[in-house]
A and B are shown apart, each in its own frame.
Chain A
Amino acid sequence: MDAPLLEARGIHKRFGHAHVLRGVDFAVHAGEICALVGDNGAGKSTLVKILSGADAPSAGTISVEGRPVVFASPAEAQRHGIATVYQDLALAPDLSPADNIFLGNELMRRGLAGRLGFLDRAEMRRRATEQFARLGVRLRSNKAPVSSLSGGQRQSVAISRAAMWADKVIFMDEPTAALGVVQTARVIELIRQVKQAGISVVLISHNMPQVIEVADRIVVLRLGENVAEFHAGDVDVDRLIAAMTAGTPTARSPS
């Protein structure tokens, strides 16, 4: 089997006396949707921060496609093809979807105009439209500010942006927590589209039926340790919850 896209081994994280992660192993393979679940305080958020470059581990190693790496910042993780969709989305509500997608990575005009700082708005809009089409995102308008879009559409813009700049792994922190039924279904569909586009997804969610429905693999953390790992199809909500709360040791396949 090929080396995982992203792999963490023996990750420890201490905040003062709090030992939040106690030797967690985690791997993301090509072309999968992997869910990371666990009760509050299990260390999911801390692990995601470490894997996306927002925080540094106290101990442990991270490797991308088998090569060891150190992420000093989210930007550096992004250069390795790893991006995060934060729960607050980090969008500029007054800017258009295209401007948001290219924020910090703007396209400049060619030649002198570009060197003087002029933007190539037409090209940015064209590529943004292309990206939305690739992922099946339908926005009401490509020019209206993001603040005029629905919650689901904003989520779609944020995910499309991550998929634009990451070609390996996207972390999504509770992407459907604040959405209604119809919009949740669309975001789930979008997550599948991202996988189809060849980018692996790590989904952090509290919604167990949803996790079982979309994930190919489910990793369960409890109190900073791996307690279980399931493959889609051979787990139900009860077993998941048992693993999350009691840490019942189950089939932990060290694949």
Chain B
Amino acid sequence: MSTTTEPDREDDAETRRERLTRLFGGGWIFLLLIFLIALFAALRPMQFGSAYNLSQLTINAAILLVLSIGQTFVIVTAGIDLAIGAVLVFASVLSAKTMLWLAGAAGTTFGTTDASWLVIGIGSLVAVAAGMAWGAVSGWLVAVARIPALIVTLGTFGMALGLAQIITGGVDVRAMPERLVAHVGAGSIAGVPTLVVIAVVVTAGAAVVLHLTRFGTRVFAIGSNAEAARRAGINVRAYMIAIYMISGALAGVGAVMSNARFSTTTIGGHGMDNLTTISAVVLGGTSLFGGVGSIAGTVIGVFIPIILLNGFVILGIPPFWQTVAMGAVLIVAVWVDQLKRRAQERG
């Protein structure tokens, strides 16, 4: 309690501490991002600032960003989605198998197929639908069966990954439609990589939904005080299920992007996606306690580890240091969040 206790002056405008919190409390991570960009740009302007490097940075961020957007919705409701990467793998396997089958190629085909855009469209819908189905399962178990989200999504993580391995016999599907790889994976729209365009569209849409619509406001309300939302007549269960379905659907979108980019499914490559997205979301100022968060913050939280890694590589620092630095930054971010909360509850 650093503020003076004058009970009759409580109507006064916000205290100095609150103003500082509002200006910098949530924004310090943004300042960190600016600082990192400025630092690397100053140290190695030619390499770091090159158009090629910047476009590689955004492509690296694209899939992770789409996944982290879904994670943001879940964490704002005070939930957590550990299944995100496994759902991506499941959706990508199902989608790839569907496209292979529709294109009439054998399961052992390598390289690319000449599947039409129609086939690619169906394959993409299958990926999104598969993601949503897993989201519906997780959401129902969390909202209706009232099992903690940590356990539910740890369970669906294992189930989705295991089923993906059963479907493929543990071997990646290595034949993707040529058009998907060329135009979505490696192509660009008006000079911007297609993967980045998809990520930007998803991010903008999610920001509008979360911050400007009734749905978004109720998501915050549920994360803030689910009982209050229920008493206000909001169908909290339906909202919770919808939230996990959004996260699953975005993992499905990520699956299509991943298939397009790598021209193969990546069964072994997404085990850490859950922790990477959670740390991005939390770095971005979204509270693990729910009720507080923003899409803009998540964008920043996704870019910090990617820029850190990129900068370390360019500077010749062993990239393993990025892992160490990220761990420390994450702990600091959660600590700052807790300090902010305590200060507010006291005030």
A91-105 contacts to B (CB < 8 Å): 91-95, 99, 103-105
Of A114-122, A193-201, A215-223, A245-253, the one with at least 4 CB within 8 A of chain B: A114-122
Interfacial chain A residues near B8, Cβ < 8 Å: 182
Main SS at interface, chain A:
loop
Chain B, 133-187, CB within 8 A of any chain A CB: none
Chain B residue with the shortest CB-CB distance to A107? B214
Give the interface centre of A140, A144, A183 by most chain B CB atoms within 10 Å.
Answer: A140
Minimum distance in angstroms from A139 CB to a CB of chain B: 8
Count A-side interface residues using an 8 Å CB cutoff. Answer: 35
Query: Please, how many angstroms separate the alpha-carbon atoms of A118 and B217 in the complex?
Result: 10
Q: Once the chains bind, are A92 and B14 in contact (CB under 8 Å)?
A: no
Nearest CB in chain B: distance from A76 CB, A:
10
A119 to B219, CA, bound (A): 14
Q: Is B14's CB under 8 angstroms from A144's CB? A: yes
| B7 lies within 8 A of chain A by Cβ | yes
B217 touches A95 (CB 8 A): yes
Interface residues in B222-271 (C-beta closer than 8 Å to A): 223-225, 227-229, 231-234
Interchain CB contact under 8 A, B224 and A95:
yes
Distance of A144 Cα from B13 Cα, bound (Å): 10
Cβ A94 vs Cβ B13 within 8 A: no
- For the complex, is A87 an interface residue (Cβ under 8 Å from B)? no
For the complex, give the distance between the alpha carbons of A118 and B229 in Å.
19
CB contacts (< 8 Å) of B223 on chain A: these are 94
CB B225 to nearest CB in A, in angstroms, measures 5
Nearest B residue (CB) for A144: B14
The answer to the question of A55 belonging to the interface, with a C-beta cut-off of 8 Å to chain B, is no
- Among B214, B225, B232, contact of A117 (Cβ-Cβ < 8 Å): B214
Question: B220 an interface residue at 8 Å Cβ cutoff?
Answer: yes
Give 1 or 0 for each of A69-109: 1 = CB within 8 Å of chain B CB.
00000110000000000101111111100010001111010
Quote the shortest CB–CB distance from B268 to chain A (angstroms).
Answer: 39
**B273 at the A interface (CB under 8 A):** no
The verdict on A150 contacting chain B, using a C-beta distance below 8 Å, is: yes
Q: Would you call B321 an interface residue if the criterion is a C-beta within 8 Å of the partner chain's C-beta atoms? A: no
Are B18 and A148 in touch, CB under 8 angstroms? yes
Cβ B12 vs Cβ A91 within 8 A: no
Which residues on the A side are within 8 Å of B292 (C-beta)? Answer: 94
CB-contacts of A16-74 with B (<8 A): 74
Identify which of A95, A118, A145 gathers the most chain B CB atoms within 10 Å of its CB: A95
Contact at A92–B221, with CB atoms within 8 Å?
A: yes
Tell me whether A207 is interfacial, beta carbon within 8 Å: no
CA of A141 to CA of B22 in the docked complex: distance in angstroms? 13
User: Could you say which residues of chain A place their CB within 8 Å of the CB of B233?
Assistant: 75, 104-105
A180 at the interface (CB under 8 A from B): yes
Cα–Cα, bound, A196→B225 (Å): 31
The answer to whether the Cβ of B344 comes within 8 Å of any Cβ in the partner chain is yes
Chain B's interface size range is 20 to 34
Q: Say if the beta carbon of B35 comes within 8 Å of chain A.
A: no
Which of A89, A94, A106 is B214 in contact with, Cβ under 8 Å?
A106
Contact with B along A112-155 (1 / 0, CB 8 A): 00001111000000000000000000111100110110101100
Interface centre among B214, B229, B345 (most CB of A within 10 A): B214
Q: Looking across the interface, which residue of chain B has its beta carbon closest to that of A182?
A: B7
Look across to chain B and name the residue whose beta carbon is closest to the beta carbon of A139: B11
Q: Closest residue of chain B to A103, judged by CB?
A: B232
Instruction: With CB as the reference atom, state the residue of chain B lying closest to A117.
Output: B213
A108 and B246 alpha carbons, distance in the complex (Å): 23
Give min CB distance, B84 to chain A, whole Å.
24
Q: How far is the CA of A157 from the CA of B344 in the complex (A)?
A: 17
Q: Specify which of A93, A144, A153 is in contact with B224 (CB 8 Å cutoff).
A: A93
Q: Which of A86, A93, A108 gathers the greatest number of chain B CB atoms within 10 Å?
A: A93
Contact yes or no, A74 B231, CB < 8 A: yes
The reply to whether A144 and B18 contact each other, CB–CB distance below 8 Å, is: yes
Q: Is B215 an interface residue (CB 8 A)?
A: yes
What is the CA–CA distance of A119 and B214 in the complex, to the nearest angstrom?
6
B215:A117 contact, CB within 8 angstroms: yes
Which residues of A are found within 8 Å of B224, using beta-carbon distances? Answer: 92-95
> What residues of chain B lie closer than 8 Å to A86, measured between beta carbons?
231
Distance A108 CA – B345 CA, assembled complex (angstroms): 31
Contact A140 B213 (CB under 8 A): no
Q: Which of A95, A106, A141, A147 contacts B13 (CB 8 A)?
A: A141
CB<8 Å pairs between A and B, sample of 13: A75-B233, A92-B228, A94-B220, A94-B223, A94-B290, A95-B217, A118-B212, A139-B11, A140-B11, A148-B14, A148-B347, A180-B7, A182-B8
Q: Which 10 A-B pairs have the closest CB atoms?
A: A104-B232, A94-B291, A92-B224, A94-B224, A117-B213, A90-B228, A104-B233, A103-B232, A92-B221, A92-B225
Task: Please list the residues of chain B having a beta carbon within 8 angstroms of any beta carbon in chain A.
Answer: 7-8, 10-14, 18, 209, 212-215, 217-218, 220-221, 223-225, 227-229, 231-234, 290-292, 344-345, 347
